[in-house]
Structure 1
Amino acid sequence: MTFCTKKIIFFFVLYAFVFCTKLQSQKLFSLSSDSLKDIESIIVKENNPKKEDTSVVKKRLAFLSKSSDKKNNILYSALLANGYAAFFDKINPKSEHYYLQSIQEAKRSKDLSLIIWTQLNYSKYLYFYCQIDKLIPIVLQTMEETNQIDPSEMILPAETFQFFGWIMFTVEDESALDFLKKSMQYMKKPSSESASVLNAIGNCYFKNKDITNAMHYLDKSEAMALKIGDSVRYAKVLGDKALIYEKKGNINTAVNLLKQDIAYSQKFKIEKNEMYASILLAKIQLKINNKNEAEKILERAGEIAGTKSYYRSSLKEVIELKLMLLNGNLQKELILRRQLKQLDEYLLKTNGNTVLRRSNWLIQKNKYENETKQIRSQLEQGERIRNISILILISTILSSAIAYTFLVKRLDTKRVKVEEYESDRLIFEEKLKDASSNIDSYAEDLQNKDKQILSLEDELEGIKSFAAKQSEEDKSKLQEMLSSHLVTDENWSAFKREFINQYSDFYNAIIENFPQLKESNLRIIMLQKLNLNNYEMSTLLGVTVDAVKKSKQRLKKKLGDKYELLFEIIEYK
């Protein structure tokens, strides 16, 4: 079969798929106005979930899971996914499972408003944790689906268009302004959300170098924030205004506004905003050659940036600024550059740099829009198959030619960098392998000690049988050998340090969620994390198997309802 024949068959299959998809979409429906209000009230109550035990979230949402109404079951899966995301504060399999389950259930219900909302809910999770590759196709699909429904029939249309605006602003797409202004049309009253949208519109104009409109909308956002008493939004507006004053050359005003922003952020414990404002202030201090002040600010910004994996792009900024402050300290520069390389490696696997991310977005977005418009316009006319095939073929040839030219130029300039990254990646993986092997060797050593203890115990039994023939000195030596294989305080301290180094997230989660635990409890939990059974634990700790079982029973009684949470942390941290 020739290449041309394969391509023709492909386009016929594509046409059939799109045609069937359109027929299927015509069967979709939306919620009634009363049902819509009920769902929105539930979602609004659960917006911005706080970190809390997932068992508490499940109990609070139990009325949704027990409902005979499928819509409530869908909400349960989606909101529970948000609860797990807030608890683990990172990409995790539990959230992923419930997000995808809610989307699948919504599609089975053929309720377009629920389909759009569940996909949007998942998209926010992916955006927050920088999973750009997964995010792109879902958001583009969701945007297209919003064209098939009246906004008044959507769940929280203002929030939906606001999110689209944020995404498009991030990738510097001109449609960001339209989405944000559309969001304002569905804001029912002055609120923190409407102040946030006005703020975002101001930033859009600033990015487009329209200083007048930028300041106009930031003023409106500031006025609304003061009116409703939203100090957090007020602080963020001050930081954004600082950028405008800096652009105008009014450095003193910019510095004062950023200091106010940081003060508010510290007062209300908004670390993320404090970090962003501190980085901006450090940049200005560097411009005016105030290096001592910039260094102090960057220390605090670096502390915050190091607390979350999704702050690593900001941590990279901090390190780059610190490098600019160095004055011939080669050792410190070497450390910072190593950190920078590791961050680059991580960012290449997640959100990457802005230029690459924007290019990827625009290519996929334009391709999706062009193919959709071509296919839809041809489906509405008479000669569907022939015209669609011709148009898509032309579009494919042109896009392939453009893509080929683009890739050739790009590959020529990036080949050396790719080789460097590959070399650095291999070095990093080797270091990671060395680091991770330490705790594994500890676990293996602990299990080997079981076998040694059994052998020594057999020897002692033999000695007891032939006591007349064996001196007390020999028996004493064997007893010492047996004792040395038990987990002494010194051995345990060394093991614990290595365990915390390898399983820091797990250990911190245990300490944070169960402060009442004693050291004896921690020993049982840490050995259980390494999949040791009761017998292996008893021989290592120098106690009976029954003693280990009783320790576990006392632990279960102590934790009560939170015992289930302990095993969720052991399994997923």
Structure 2
Amino acid sequence: MKIKYFLSLITLGCIIFLPAQKIRLDVSDNNISGWEGIISQQENMGNDTVAIKNFLQPLNDSNSETYKILYNTLLANGYANAFDRINEKSNNYYSKSIQSARQSKQEALEIWAILSYAEYLYNFRQMTKVLPVYMSAIEKINQLDSKDILFPGESFMKIGFYMGTIGDNTEALNYLKKAKQFTNPKSANYASILDNMGLYYYRTGDLKKAKKNIEEASSLAKSIGDEVRYAKTLGNLAQIYEGNRDYRTAIKLILEDIEISERNGRNKNSMYAYTILTRLYIAINRLEDAKISAKKADEIAETKSYFKINELEILKLKLHIIYKEGRNGEELLVRRRIDALEDSLNKTDGVLPLNQANWMLQKRKYQHNIDDTQKRLSSVSFWKNVIFVVAVFLILLAVLILMNAKIREKNRKIQTEKRIVEYENAKLRNEQKLLEAHKTLDSQIDFLKEKNIQIQKLHLEIQNIKESKSSSIEKEHGKLDEILKSHLMTEENWLSFKREFKKGHATFYQTLQDSFPEITDSSLRIILLRKLGFANSEIAGLLGITVDAVKKSKQRLKHKLGDKYDLLFNMIVSEN
């Protein structure tokens, strides 16, 4: 024990007396290129706050106002990384840095400091607070030549990522295209830009460009050894395959994404990937696997306060699994947590703040358009005032219309989602009743008639959705279509039905087998259902075909059987 203690003291002493690493400065560094060289050294700061201050001390000791600006921003960045949350120290140092740069009229440093502050707010999901900060940077950056901007590629990239987050995919793509012009095409940043461009193209519906950009990003990431970016590209490609319902390929890609992300200790990316995997497993009814992947995603989401938006998405997937398994008693607890999270996120990172940020952005664009119009017409004050009043009126009118449309759309979606849950629950109840009734022929008939009622309702619901102008038609149509398909007579249901039919109508069934061997399985389904009194429209609904198809099947059977058809007809309509 004494030896171990002695060795520990020696080790501690060595650590204390080792000279601390410090940032390197040069008198020739006082220009754009030199500042970039200094800033690039922040990767060596580490996460210990004492070490960070010591590392940056040469900047603080300098009499240069420029170096003081660099010191304050880099120190704010260091505290953000060390605390891994919004904190007062970072807030104060960012504020000092921006004010100093503004007062000394050093626009390049001011833009860099503003973007650093914006990235800090963005990383910790302060989505409404960050908008005016980004807009301030955008206004200034658009007035400078690229050669007068610090890290132009990274600067445009940060703006693009934020625009994509708040849903302005067109602007996001515009800024990422600018970022590409100033980024090394063999770098990790270039792969990141391509990957995110692919994601934004996917959101705009341009699947061809989406896949092309993501595949280019994937190839580049692999060639330069950027495993984490490569994993992210696999996850984004999986989403494209998911959209095309190629779930097998999507699952294969997402599992590889998870393996790489976990190997590299990238919990955030692992959480995203497990969330997508849960969604994929639900789509193919692998509910046990879905529960496992949801649990893993949730375990990561609970580790950080700024992962609440991800936790909310995971909880909604868990709720979907509960509905699928018919465990409705567990629904209340999950819904309470969802409501609590949504209430919390409505202040920072939920759908409402993101929509609000997007709306504020559009409003700001309109205001800029109004200002430009006023400048051009400054010599004609009367028309300037008229245009201003009309523009403001139109903006307010557009906002009111937009808000009203969003409220109507939200209410419509809530009602549709409730009806979808009702359809799913009705299906589960009907199947449970069949099990409890031991699948007798009478219970099979009741089961099929109830199914037919649900099928008719679903057809009507799908038709109503098709006629709607909602932006979520495709998603809702897909959910209803899945429920509709699940009501159709599956092979398992058919075998169960046929087994009970044989018991109830043994003589009729045996006569069919002996006297009419030419009857096909598809015709047999129609005959048995007709024997039980189902009309053509009901048969068509249960088998997932049209009424005309039922009639044509009967006509083909009549042609095939010839004179024997009348005998078959009499057998069908006769009482047993």
Same fold (TM over 0.5): yes
The one of 67, 70, 87 aligned to 1:72: 67
Match of 1:134 in 2: 129
Match of 1:348 in 2: 346
Match of 1:507 in 2: none
Aligned counterparts, 1:406-421, within 5 A? 406-407=402-403
Q: How far off its partner does 1:279 sit?
A: 0.5
Q: What CA RMSD, in Å, does the superposition of the two structures yield over aligned residues?
A: 2.6
User: 1:162–1:197: 8 Å Cα contact kept in structure 2?
Assistant: yes
Q: Which has the larger radius of gyration?
A: 2
Q: How far off its partner does 1:182 sit?
A: 0.8
Match of 2:149 in 1: 154
Alignment of 1:87 with 2:82, yes or no, is yes
Aligned counterparts, 1:506-517, within 5 A? none
Q: How far off its partner does 1:311 sit?
A: 0.6
Q: Which amino acid aligns with 2:343?
A: E
Match of 1:113 in 2: 108
Match of 1:185 in 2: 181
Match of 1:316 in 2: 312
Q: How far off its partner does 1:249 sit?
A: 2.9
Q: Which amino acid aligns with 2:108?
A: S
Q: 1:380 to 1:74 in 2, by over 3 A?
A: farther
Q: 1:97 to 1:388 in 2, by over 3 A?
A: farther
Q: How far off its partner does 1:104 sit?
A: 0.9
Match of 2:246 in 1: 250
Q: 1:180 to 1:390 in 2, by over 3 A?
A: same
Match of 1:397 in 2: 393
Q: How far off its partner does 1:309 sit?
A: 0.8
CA distance in 2, matches of 1:278, 1:241: 15
Q: Aligned with 2:222: secondary structure?
A: helix
User: 2:128–2:357: 8 Å Cα contact kept in structure 1?
Assistant: no
Cα displacement string for residues 39-89 of structure 1 (whole angstroms, at most 9, x for unaligned residues):
112222225975x22111100011111111111111111111111111221
Match of 1:198 in 2: 194
Structure 1 unaligned runs (5+)?
Answer: 1-31, 418-573
The one of 149, 169, 172 aligned to 2:164: 169
CA distance in 2, matches of 1:366, 1:72: 37
Alignment of 1:306 with 2:311, yes or no, is no
CA distance in 2, matches of 1:73, 1:385: 47
Match of 2:55 in 1: 60
Aligned counterparts, 1:545-564, within 5 A? none
Match of 2:23 in 1: none
CA distance in 2, matches of 1:412, 1:233: 40
Alignment of 1:339 with 2:337, yes or no, is yes
CA distance in 1, matches of 2:410, 2:326: 30
TM-score normalised per structure 1: 0.63
Per mean C-alpha deviation after superposition, the further-off stretch among 215-224 and 403-412 is 403-412
Q: Aligned with 1:292: secondary structure?
A: helix
Q: Which amino acid aligns with 1:162?
A: M
Q: Aligned with 1:349: secondary structure?
A: coil
How many residues get paired? Answer: 383
CA distance in 2, matches of 1:404, 1:141: 27
The one of 87, 97, 103 aligned to 2:98: 103
Q: 1:287 to 1:204 in 2, by over 3 A?
A: same
CA distance in 2, matches of 1:379, 1:387: 12
Q: Percent identity?
A: 34
Q: Aligned with 1:64: secondary structure?
A: helix
CA distance in 2, matches of 1:384, 1:145: 29
Cα displacement string for residues 509-545 of structure 1 (whole angstroms, at most 9, x for unaligned residues):
xxxxxxxxxxxxxxxxxxxxxxxxxxxxxxxxxxxxx
The one of 274, 281, 292 aligned to 2:288: 292
Structure 2 unaligned runs (5+)?
Answer: 1-27, 414-576
CA distance in 2, matches of 1:188, 1:120: 21
User: 1:374–1:388: 8 Å Cα contact kept in structure 2?
Assistant: no
Q: How far off its partner does 1:233 sit?
A: 0.7
CA distance in 2, matches of 1:329, 1:188: 53
Q: How far off its partner does 1:366 sit?
A: 2.6
Q: Considering Cα pairs closer than 8 Å and 6+ residues apart, tell me whether 1 or 2 has the greater RCO.
A: 1
Q: Which amino acid aligns with 1:397?
A: F
Match of 1:238 in 2: 234
Q: How far off its partner does 1:151 sit?
A: 1.3
Match of 2:481 in 1: none
Q: 1:382 to 1:313 in 2, by over 3 A?
A: closer
Q: How far off its partner does 1:401 sit?
A: 3.0
Q: 1:346 to 1:176 in 2, by over 3 A?
A: same
Q: Aligned with 1:190: secondary structure?
A: coil
User: 2:347–2:353: 8 Å Cα contact kept in structure 1?
Assistant: no
TM-score normalised per structure 2: 0.62
Q: Aligned with 2:346: secondary structure?
A: helix
